[in-house]
Structure 1
Amino acid sequence: MPIVINLDVMLTKRGMKSNELAEIVGITTANLSILKTGKAKAMRFSTLAAICKALDCQPADILEYIEE
């Protein structure tokens, strides 16, 4: 998939743990893990917005397109 999820990079930059973010966003740690590893096939805009709010970032900080 040409879309790369850089969620782990942003978590490190913000000094936040995955379980903290999951709690703030209101998703399970298992679902956050699926997002982090790039195994998710879709993401709700409301989830993306909540992640961006919690990490004080833009969607482009989390999502990256890399041509195959």
Structure 2
Amino acid sequence: MMKYYKLFDLLSRRDMKKTDLLEVISAPTLAKLSKGESVTTDVLCKICAFLDCQPGDIMEFIK
């Protein structure tokens, strides 16, 4: 299972809000991330490009 708490921590450290991600992803996709649900790799790529980071900076695999 993927956890996205790193994404929200990164946003906080950059004085950004979750809603800032709406520039690159849709509201339903943001809701999925907030609930820890699955998203496509395209979404992850958009977020990484927007935040200039790597996937490991925004998510973690938990057994």
Superposed pair shares fold, TM > 0.5: yes
Percent identical pairs in the alignment equals 35
Kindly report structure 1 stretches of 4+ aligned residues shifted beyond 4 Å: none
2:25 aligns with: 26
Separation (CA, whole Å) in 2 of partners of 1:37 and 1:52: 19
Once the two structures are TM-superposed, the CA of residue 19 in structure 1 deviates from its matched residue by: 1.4
How many equivalent pairs are there? 62
2:49 aligns with: 53
Please identify the structure whose Cα radius of gyration is greater.
Answer: 1
**5+ long unaligned stretches in structure 1:** none
What's the TM-score once normalised by structure 2's chain length? 0.76
**5+ long unaligned stretches in structure 2:** none
Give the aligned CA root-mean-square deviation in angstroms.
Answer: 1.6
1:9 aligns with 2:5: no
Once the two structures are TM-superposed, the CA of residue 47 in structure 1 deviates from its matched residue by: 0.7
Letter matched to residue 4 of structure 1: K
Letter matched to residue 10 of structure 1: L
- SS of the equivalent of 2:50 reads helix
Separation (CA, whole Å) in 2 of partners of 1:54 and 1:36: 18
Per-residue CA deviation, residues 33-59 of structure 1 (Å, 9 max, x unaligned), is 320231x1x211111001011111110
